[in-house]
Chains A and B, each alone.
Chain A
Amino acid sequence: MPDTSAAIAADIAALLADYAPPEGVADELLAPDGELRPVWRPLLETLLGETAEDLEHRFARGDTYLHDAGVYYRQYSGGGSNERDWPLSHVPVMIAANEWADLADGLKQRAELLERVMADLYGPGRLISEGHLPAELIARNPEWLRPVVGIRPQSGHFLHFLAFELGRSPDGSWFVLGDRTQAPSGSGFALENRMATSRVFHDLYPNAGVERIAGFFRGFREALNDVRSDGGGRIAILTPGQMTDTYFEHAYIARYMGLNLLEAADLRVVDGELTMQTVSGRVPISVLWRRLDSRSADPLELDEDSALGTPGLVSALRNGGMTMVNCLGSGVLEARALLAFLPRMARAVLGEDLKLNNIATWWCGQAAERAYVLENLERMMIGPALSTRLPFDLDATTALGGRFRDEARSPIEAWLEAEGTSLVGQEAVTLSTTPAMIGGKLVARPMVLRAFAARTADGWQVMPGGYARIGRTEDPTALAMQAGGSVADVWIVGGEAAEKVPHAQRPETPFLRRKQGALPARAADNLYWLGRYVERAETAVRLLRAYHLRLEEAGFRETELVSEFAAFLGRRGLDVSQPVPPGLVRLFEGARDGAAKIRDRFSLDGWMVLNALAEAAETAGEGIAQGDDTARQMSRFLGDLASFTGLVHDNMYRFTGWRFLVMGRAVERAQQMAVVVAAFAEGSFPPGGFEIAVETGDSVMTHRRRYAVETNRDTVVDLLVLDEGNPRSILFQLDILAEEEAAVAGPRGPREISEAARAILRLRTALATARPEDVDNARLLEIADEIGGISDALSAAYLG
C-alpha cells in the first residue's frame, strides 16, 4: 500500500530530523547518498510513533535488567576506584550479514597470522633472521617473555581467544585499530549488552533475524574441553581478583560457561603440575583461561613483585601438562609497532595479502619511514612503539597532528631523530558514526567495534556481533573514544544462519550443566562467611526491632529495661540513637560484598536481594521515627532477609557450596543464640529479658504453645538451647552442622572422623543430654567459645 509506505517514509524522515553525520566519514545508518541502509529499517519502524515516555519505558527495561543483574565495571581515577553502572547505549549497531561474513573472513586470516607470528617469536625466530621484523622490536618488548621461549604449547597452539578493535574508514571499509591478544576482555560484556538490548527491543528482537551469539560461547566451551590433554581435567578462569576493572565479566563468563573462577591464592604448582586447592584437597587443572596479564602470572620467573602470580606457573606450562588460553607471552603481539610489519609478515608467513587492513603505521626506527612521518605530521599520531594501548588511548608522550600533548617537549624533528627506534607514527584516522538516542533524539556518534574470535576444532570462529563503544561527542577522530562514552550491542542481521526464534524462548540461555566438581577452598570460604554475615545481620535486625518495640511501650522513657537493652546493643556495634545504625548497614554491606566475591556461583536473584538490601539500608533510616516506625522498617528488612534465605533454600542446587553457606549460617545462629540467651536470661537483667530472648529467637508462638507457664529461665534455655525440634535452637544448629559436615567430608570410616566432626559431636552430645538448669550463664559463654572452636576446625579442614 503506497500510502502507508509513504507515511512511514515521512515518519522515518521525522525521526531522523536531527541525524546529521559529520562530513567526510562513513555512517552506519545512512548510505553515502543519504538513503537509509535497509538493515536499519525494522529497528526504525519499531521506534516510529513512540512518545518520549514510550522510549523511556522501553529503555528502562534494559537498564533495569543491568541494574538488577549488578552489571558494573570498576573505574580507576585519582586515588581510588569505584563501581560504575554499565553505560548502555540502547540503540544497537546493525550490520548486514553478508558484510559481516567478509569481515569475519579477514579476522580469521588475521588470527591465523598472529598464531604463526607468535609461534615464530617463541620458536625459531625466522621472521627476524629473514628480515621481516626488526629484532629490537622484540628484544626490547617487555611483553616478549624470555622464560617462555622454547615452550611448545601442549595444545599445539599459542592463541585460543582473541579480540580485535575495529573502525570503519570514510570509504566504508573496515580496518583494525589494534589486536587484543594478551587476555582480551569484552566478550562477557557483549553478552550482557545482548541480554539488555533484547529486552529493550523485546518486540523486535525475536523476529528480526539477528544472529545469536550463544553458539559462539558454546563452541568455545567445547573447544576448551577438547584441548584437555587427557580428555578430562578441570578448566578454570584465572582472574586478578575483585579489584580488577573487569572482574564482573570474569565472574559472569565463569558462571555462564560453567567454569571455575580462580585467583592466584587458589593455585599451586605441585610436582610440576598446576593444581587448585579445593574442599577435598588438590586437584589438577588442565586448561587455564588467563584473564591476568602474563607478566604478573609468576613471581619466580616473571615480575618478581607481582602479588597476583603463582610461583612455578611458567614451569608448569613448560612441563606440558596444561594449556593456557592464551599462552603466556601473547602480549608481545599487541605492540603498536607490529602493525607496521603485519602486512609483509602476512605475505611471508601465509603467502597472502591481508584481507583486512590495519591502521597505517610507520616505525620510526627506519630512516625512510621516519622521513615519511615527518613529512606528514599533520595526519599522524606519534607515540611509543612498544605501547600496547589502542591508538586512541593517548598519553603524555604522544604527538598528534604535529603538536605535542605535553608542550614542554623538544621539537618533534629532534625527538624522532633521537628516539625514533622507540616511536611509531599512526595515521590519525576517523571513525564511522552510528545512531545514539540522546535527549530523545537520534544523533550520530563515532564508534569502534570490538570483535571476538575463538579457536575451535573447526578453526577460528568469529562471534557474530560484538561490543561497540560509542563516543561521547560528535568528534569523529579516534580521539573521541578515550573520553569514555557508552557501549552498544551489535546485531548481525539478514543472514541465513539466524533462524527465527519463537517469542517465548529466552533470547540467550546458558546452555551447559555445570559438572559438580570439587569446590575451590576460597569460594567455600566466601560462601561460609556469606552465611555467617546474613545470619548476623538477621539477629541484629531482630534485636533492633525488639528494642524499638520496647521503647515505644515505655513511652520513650529511659526505663531500666530500655537503657540496659540499648547498652547491650551498643556493645555489639549497634548505636540505637539512629533508626538504622551504621553498624547494621555495614553488616548488610558485608553480606553483599561477600556475595560479590562469588558471583560466579551465586544465583542472580539472591544477589539482587542482598544488593537491594544494602542499597536500601543506607537511606532507610531517613525520616523515620524511633519506636514503632523503626520496628516496622526492621520487619521489612526481615522480610527481605527471609526472601534471600528462601531463595537459598528453595532454589540453590545442593552443591558443596550450598553446604558451606548453610554451615556458616548454623555456626553464626548458634553462637548468636548463646550470647543472646546469656545476656537476656541473666538474673541481673531487668524483668522482660526472657521475652526479648524468645522474641529474638522468633519463638514466641512456640513458647506459648509448649509451656503452660510464664516465660522463665528454664523455658527459655529449654526452647532456645536444648530443643532439637526448634529450628532456632543451638542443638538444632549442631544437627545441621553434623549433617552438612558429614556430607562435605564424604564417605569415611568410623575412625576417620575429622577434628571438626569431633567438636560438633562433643557439643551436640553435651546439649542433647543437658537439663535446662545445667546450662547457666557461664556454660552459655563456654558454648559460644566451643562453637568458635568448631568454626576454626571447619576452616582448618576445608577452607585453607
Chain B
Amino acid sequence: MTADVLYDIRLSISYSYAHPAGASRSLLRMLPRATEAQDIVAGEVTVEPRPDYRRDGVDFFGNATSEVAHDAMLKEIRFGFDGRVRRRGMSDLLDLSSDLRELAAEIAHTRSIAPSSPHHFLGESPRIHLHKAIAAFAADAAAGTGSALATVEAVNSAVHGEITFDSTATDVTTDPLTAFEARRGVCQDMSHIMIAALRSLGIPAGYVSGFLRTDPPEGQPRLEGADAMHAWVRAWCGAEMGWIEIDPTNDIRAGQDHVMVGFGRDYFDVAPVKGSLRSMGPHQTTHSVDVVPVD
C-alpha cells in the first residue's frame, strides 16, 4: 500500500472571440469527483466574468456539473478549477475478474439501470460506434487471454502500441474510426478506440476525464497528456471485481498520478465545457493544467 498524495490542481480553459458573442449558456464538468480513491480537500469551479446565472448539480453518472449563463455579449470567457485533492494510496491489483466467456451472462443478470450498471457501457453511445476494423483489432489483441482483466490489459497495450501520440493529428471532435485509421491521436482518441474495442469484445467500457501529475516523481519518465485534461478508460471486469481504470495513452493502470474528474460512456458525457456561445466568426481557446504534489 502506497501513501496518500496531496495535489494542488489548477485548470483554466478560456475562449476569446473576434466578434463579441451573444447570450451564452455553458455546462461545466470540471470539479474532481469524490470517490473511494480520492477526495477533495478544497476547491471550486470559477467563471469569469461572473455569470448572471449559476446552478451547481450532479449529472446521471454522479459527476459534478455547473450550469452558467451570461446575458451580456462576451469577448472573453474563462472557466477554471482551483483546488487540492487527496489521492489515496493503492495496493496491487489482484485479478478477481471473470472469465471473458462468463461476462455476458453476468451482465444479463445485472438487473439495474443505476449509474454503476454495466449496461450503460455496451453498444453504441454518442461518440462510440461499432466498427468492424476496430472489432478485428480487438479480437487480435484479445487472442489467447482468458480473464476479463487480462483481456483489458492486452487491449490497453495493443492500443498504446498501435496508436502514436500526436497532438496535431486530431481534434476534440474526431471520431474514433478516423483516429484509428490514421493510427494517431491523443488521450481522447486512444480512450475512444479502446472503449470501442472492449465493447466489441462484450466488455463494458467507459470514459474517464481527469488530470495527470504534471512532473513525474524523481527518476520516472514524464507521462503523456499532462499538459491538458487527460482521459483514460474504465472497464467492467465482472460482478466480483467490478470497475477498473486503465490508461492506454501511457500503457499503465490509472494510479496515484491520475485524478478523476468524471466518468461516462464517452467524451460526450464528460466534456469539461459544453457551450452554446452564439459566436460570430472564429474563436481562440486556451487550455492549461497544473497538477503539483504538495510537499
Contacts and interface: CB of A to CB of B under 8 A. Distances in A.
A299 B276 contact: yes
A312 B25 CA distance: 7
A761 interface: no
B283 to A, nearest CB: 17
A300 B29 CA distance: 12
A323 B123 CA distance: 33
B53 A139 contact: no
Nearest to B57: A318
Interface in B130-187: none
A497 B20 CA distance: 62
A780 to B, nearest CB: 35
Given A125-B114, A147-B59, A301-B27, A139 B119 contact: yes
Interface string A286-327: 000000000000011100100000011001001000000000
B53 A300 contact: no
B112 A135 contact: yes
A136 B122 contact: yes
Contact of A135 (B55, B111, B274): B111
A146 interface: yes
B112 A146 contact: no
Nearest to B121: A139
Interface in A262-279: 268-272
Q: How many of chain A's residues touch chain B, expressed as a range?
A: 20 to 34
B268 A146 contact: no
| Highest count of chain A CB atoms <10 Å: which of B60, B113, B276 | B113
A422 B123 CA distance: 10
A192 B119 CA distance: 45
Contacts of B285: none
Interface in B75-126: 107-108, 110-114, 117, 119-120, 122-124, 126
Grouping DSSP codes into helix (H, G, I), strand (E, B) and loop, the A interface class, with mixed when no group exceeds half, is loop
Given A136-B122, A271-B53, A315-B55, A131 B67 contact: no
Contact of B27 (A134, A136, A144, A300): A300
B41 interface: no
Contact of B111 (A129, A140, A147, A365): A129
B69 interface: yes
B23 interface: yes
B274 A304 contact: yes
Interface residues of B, number: 33
A304 B275 CA distance: 9
Contacts of A43: none
Contacts of A20: none
A138 B107 CA distance: 14
A146 B60 contact: yes
A435 B123 CA distance: 46
B252 to A, nearest CB: 30
A304 B53 CA distance: 21
Nearest to B268: A304
Nearest to A136: B119
A453 to B, nearest CB: 27
B53 A272 contact: yes
A150 B112 CA distance: 15
A149 interface: yes
A1 to B, nearest CB: 70
A131 B122 CA distance: 20
B67 A135 contact: no
A138 B268 CA distance: 19
B53 A135 contact: no
Interface in A119-163: 121, 125, 128-131, 134-136, 138-140, 142, 144, 146-147, 149-150
Given A130-B111, A136-B107, 8 more contacts: A129-B111, A129-B112, A135-B119, A139-B113, A146-B269, A300-B25, A300-B67, A315-B67
Interface of B: 23, 25-27, 52-53, 55, 57, 59-61, 67, 69, 71, 107-108, 110-114, 117, 119-120, 122-124, 126, 268-269, 274-276
The 5 closest A-B pairs by CB, nearest first: A139-B119, A146-B60, A311-B276, A135-B119, A140-B123
29 contacts: A125-B112, A128-B111, A128-B112, A128-B113, A129-B111, A134-B108, A135-B113, A135-B117, A136-B107, A136-B123, A138-B113, A138-B119, A139-B117, A139-B120, A140-B119, A140-B122, A140-B123, A146-B61, A149-B60, A269-B69, A272-B55, A300-B27, A300-B67, A300-B276, A304-B274, A312-B25, A312-B67, A312-B69, A315-B67
